[in-house]
Chains A and B, each alone.
Chain A
Amino acid sequence: MGKKLVSLENIAFKYEGQSRHAVDHVSFDIYEGEWLAIVGHNGSGKSTLAKLLNGLQFPQAGTILVNGKELTEETVWEARSKIGMVFQNPDNQFVGATVQDDVAFGLENAGIPLPEMVQRVQNALNKVKMESFLNQEPHHLSGGQKQRVAIAGVLALQPDLIILDEATSMLDPRGREEVLETVRELKEENLLTVISITHDLEEAAKADRMIVMNEGKLYRQGIPTDIFQMEGELIELGLDIPFSVKLSKELKERGIGLIKSHLTEEELVRELCELHSKM
């Protein structure tokens, strides 16, 4: 595991007028280069976590360290330059009049000089494969394309960490796949650290590490294989388990001697092949 990028220490946050903590004394670390999935049912506090990480809200207790520096009102702009966010609704984060204007928006804010700006916009759009849509207006783009533009806007700022706050939940299956594929490629290429806040368990299964949130509390953290051992417990939390885990369980119940519950279909098929040849 790489070095610690962000640490949360005993974070608590309560919205005004609410009796319950939205985030209830949560601590965890985010390491460089990993893909961390934060899962939980709606209202479990996972989106509030995202806002806290980006200094859009400040915790009432506890500290957040970004690159070892405490996140406060004074350091928030510096932290934001290192942490990019992609939100849920593709329409409500598209600021520019066209694709290139939107990608440039963050760069303009950072006061990047024009020649470099042009270069970075172009590069970022190439990376998300939207370079041929430079002058397209947002209402002519699909949801998936808009989210890719949002990702380009984040990339252009060259952050260390990208937070996807349910970024695929309003997309159709094709758009969802498009966006996840883009993020996966980026993560492999330039060691971008990814936090994905989601309730898509198939997506979470492919993460390096998972955090399960429940009622504002950190319920469990670990690698997906371990987390999905909880099976029934997860369903009780209002979540689901991936298809291949469910199928593994059913097969085991029918006396097929699988060594474990597999997280991906490929693994499961492979073990079935091995068993088959031994028969």
Chain B
Amino acid sequence: MLDKMILGRYVPVDSTIHKMDPRSKLLLVFLFVCIIFLANNLISYGLIGLFTLILLMLSKIPIRFLYNGLKPILFLIIFTFVLHILFTKEGEVVFNFGWLEIYDGGLRQGLFISLRFTFLILVTSLLTLTTNPISITDGMETLLHPFKKWKLPVHELSLMMSIALRFIPTLMEETDKIMKAQMARGVDFSSGPLKERIKAIVPLLVPLFVSAFKRAEELAIAMEARGYRGGEGRTKYRQLKWQTVDTLLMLSLVVLTILLVLLRS
């Protein structure tokens, strides 16, 4: 199940989207989330759909992979759709079956909301699918840089995030190891009454916390030994490059916004 989830996964392929600057991708997603609310008719939704499709094609992420990944969310989309059909009572009745009345307003609403939802999911997953987590962190750090004026600890936040990301696989491995060790001592994590199972978490969590704290302490010492003393006076090894593609894509987004505004009915 988890193997098929696409949310938050990075798929390393060589594509235009992959090569883009994480800053432009972050901006794109942010603006996209805003302008999608401008659409309120079929043509504008069609336009957004086309835009999303072009992005997907450019990313070279296998469609099958996307589809598999969306499956778990499909239920949610259908659920919203049905909910709107049943409870929105606007416009004319298009269908009547006993107590059940379906209005064309409900159909429209349901369709639009599920489309909006699908596009949002696709575009946001596209960000994580095509950008490795560390670049996202870098992009965030640069984009948030102006907020330093208001005492936002941008550098610290991004360092924290990148270290957290770096340690996820290590901690996963550790969890597995400790789980196995406790199972060998007779703990049953997967069956028995709920109360027992909750109790079984303690022998897993305590060692995990202990080890995470120990790691944090050792990491802090190692960082200090390597001359780390905060963001002041540091240079940056990773440089972000804004390319023509980035400008083009931002422009296309502007055009899309203008069109959406014009098309509003």
- Residues on B lying within 8 angstroms of A by beta carbon are 132-134, 162-163, 165-166, 169-170, 173, 214-215, 218-219, 221-229, 233-239
Interface of chain A residues 85 through 99 with chain B (CB within 8 A): 85, 87, 89, 91-98
Who on chain B is nearest to A154 by CB? B226
Are A91 and B170 interface neighbours, CB within 8 A? yes
Q: How far is the CA of A110 from the CA of B234 in the complex (A)?
A: 7
Query: A96-109 toward B: CB 8 Å interface, digit per residue (1/0)?
Result: 11101100111111
* B132 surroundings in chain A (CB, below 8 A): 97
Q: How far is the CA of A91 from the CA of B224 in the complex (A)?
A: 16
Are B224 and A111 interface neighbours, CB within 8 A? no
* A111 surroundings in chain B (CB, below 8 A): 233-235
Q: How far is the CA of A106 from the CA of B218 in the complex (A)?
A: 16
Who on chain A is nearest to B166 by CB? A97
Are A117 and B134 interface neighbours, CB within 8 A? no
Who on chain B is nearest to A105 by CB? B226
Partner of B225 from the list A80, A91, A104, A117 (CB cut-off 8 Å) is A80
Are A92 and B163 interface neighbours, CB within 8 A? no
Partner of B237 from the list A77, A89, A114, A154 (CB cut-off 8 Å) is A114
Are B235 and A112 interface neighbours, CB within 8 A? yes
Q: How far is the CA of A54 from the CA of B169 in the complex (A)?
A: 30
Who on chain B is nearest to A112 by CB? B235
A109 with B166, Cβ < 8 A, contacts A87-B218, A139-B173 known = no
Who on chain B is nearest to A57 by CB? B221
Partner of A109 from the list B134, B215, B218, B234 (CB cut-off 8 Å) is B234
Who on chain A is nearest to B219 by CB? A92
Are B219 and A138 interface neighbours, CB within 8 A? no
Q: How far is the CA of A118 from the CA of B237 in the complex (A)?
A: 8
Who on chain A is nearest to B239 by CB? A114
A-B contact list, 20 entries, CB within 8 Å: A56-B221, A77-B229, A89-B218, A92-B214, A92-B222, A93-B219, A93-B222, A94-B166, A97-B166, A105-B226, A105-B228, A107-B237, A109-B226, A109-B227, A109-B234, A110-B227, A113-B235, A114-B239, A117-B237, A139-B170
Least CB distance from A59 to B in Å reads 17
Name 15 extra pairs, CB < 8 A, besides A92-B219, A109-B234.
Answer: A77-B227, A80-B226, A87-B218, A89-B218, A91-B215, A95-B163, A98-B134, A100-B237, A101-B238, A106-B227, A108-B237, A110-B227, A111-B233, A118-B237, A153-B226
A81 CB within 8 Å of chain B: yes
Are A106 and B237 interface neighbours, CB within 8 A? no
A157 CB within 8 Å of chain B: yes
* A110 surroundings in chain B (CB, below 8 A): 227
A80 with B163, Cβ < 8 A, contacts A92-B215, A101-B237, A111-B233 known = no
Interface of chain A residues 193 through 249 with chain B (CB within 8 A): none
A66 CB within 8 Å of chain B: no
A125 CB within 8 Å of chain B: no
A139 with B169, Cβ < 8 A, contacts A89-B218, A108-B234 known = yes
Q: How far is the CA of A169 from the CA of B195 in the complex (A)?
A: 41
* A91 surroundings in chain B (CB, below 8 A): 170, 215
Q: How far is the CA of A77 from the CA of B232 in the complex (A)?
A: 14
A121 CB within 8 Å of chain B: yes
Are A121 and B237 interface neighbours, CB within 8 A? yes
Q: How far is the CA of A100 from the CA of B221 in the complex (A)?
A: 20
